[in-house]
Amino acid sequence: MSPATASERHGIGVDIGATKIAAGLVSADGRIVRAVSEPTPDDSAGIAAVVGTLVERLLADETGDLDVGGIGIGAAGFIDVDRATVRFAPNIDWRDEPLAEAVAKHVDLPVVVENDANAAAWGEYRFGAGEDTDDLLFVTVGTGIGGGIVHRGMLFRGGFGAAAEIGHLRLVPGGRLCGCGQRGCFEQYASGRSLVRDARARVEAADPQAEPLLSVAGDAEAITGPMVTGLAQKSDPMCVDLLHDVGQWLGEGIASLAAVLDPTVIAIGGGVAEAGELLLGPVREAFETHLPAAGHRIVAELRLAALGNEAGLIGAADLARTEPGTPAGS
């Protein structure tokens, strides 16, 4: 059998999270053929071995005819321009960690490491909300805010590999303290963390509208983002209002990003985006209000992301499956 071309071969995607490592065998059309996972070990030195074990499990039942182009690993943090080294990870004790080399000791395949939000952006561009455009801004709204940029069919990584850390765009000079050490960052106002913080504040202030949320959570400290979203989807006034506030902040920040990047499509993903139009409506309103010179430019289309939690795994696999740095489909 002749070797498979890039348009035919599979890839393996790995998503390294703080609590779980997920891996999947992904076809050339972005379909997850098989998926496995393991808890993230407490000792970060053991992560490479767990990745190797997951890859072995994925390939255990495959025949020799399967062509796998490589392993793509998505990890939160700063990834060096070499796509091999994790310079800094916020949730794992990695500083200048040669992750690709460590994993390569356990597998006989090329390894590519990418920032997890970048990998998710690539997945959405190739197979999801951005598959009909060559210029995509992907914004993921979870505990914090992450993002990825695809420009003219290429993943934009910046000069040092650390581009698109959009959660740390400063919206409010002197504002809330962020984990990055600065104040007033985007993710302090428009993330799942800010949604929960504001919900707890309403409960602690004995707001009468907070009674339904308090009855679900039991106490303020037990409140979670999904609780707020769930009640908002049932038309709870306070929770609808809380999501509206997050959406307004999100739209304002995206307007600033669009003024610089001029994308044709902006896709919003992450856990908070599961609120759907309850979030997207306020985002769209604020985006169109705050976009500079909106009446004199083509306005990007706002969409919900399509691939959910699998975007990063699918994107990482596709980046490994194709030659690094080449346009998709080449």
| Residue-wise DSSP of 198-258 | HHHHHHHTT-GGGHHHHHHHSSGGG--HHHHHHHHTTT-HHHHHHHHHHHHHHHHHHHHHH
CA dihedral 275, 276, 278, 284 (to 10 degrees): 130
**Do 47 and 93 share a domain, yes or no?**
yes
**Do 108 and 246 share a domain, yes or no?**
no
Structural domain for 92, as ranges: 10-116+310-321
Return mean pLDDT, the chain: 93
**Do 65 and 184 share a domain, yes or no?**
no
**Do 137 and 284 share a domain, yes or no?**
yes
**Do 173 and 27 share a domain, yes or no?**
no
**Do 138 and 246 share a domain, yes or no?**
yes
What tokens appear for 114 in the block? 């990418």
pLDDT beyond 50 at 284: yes
Q: How many domains does the chain have?
A: 2
**Do residues 203 and 196 make contact, with C-beta atoms less than 8 angstroms apart?**
no
**Do 36 and 82 share a domain, yes or no?**
yes
Q: Model pTM greater than 0.85?
A: yes
**Do 274 and 141 share a domain, yes or no?**
yes
**Do residues 224 and 143 make contact, with C-beta atoms less than 8 angstroms apart?**
no
**pLDDT tens digits, 55-86:** 999 998 765 678 899 999 999 999 999 999 99
Asked if the structure places residue 30 within a domain, the reply is yes
Q: What is the pLDDT of residue 326?
A: 39
**Do 56 and 158 share a domain, yes or no?**
no
**Do 278 and 292 share a domain, yes or no?**
yes
* CATH number, residue 263: 3.30.420.40
**Do 140 and 285 share a domain, yes or no?**
yes
**pLDDT tens digits, 9-24:** 899 999 999 899 999 9
**Do 314 and 286 share a domain, yes or no?**
no
**Residue (of 270, 262, 279) closest to 307 by Cα position:** 270
Residue 256 CB contacts under 8 Å (≥ 6 apart), including other chains: 169, 171, 290
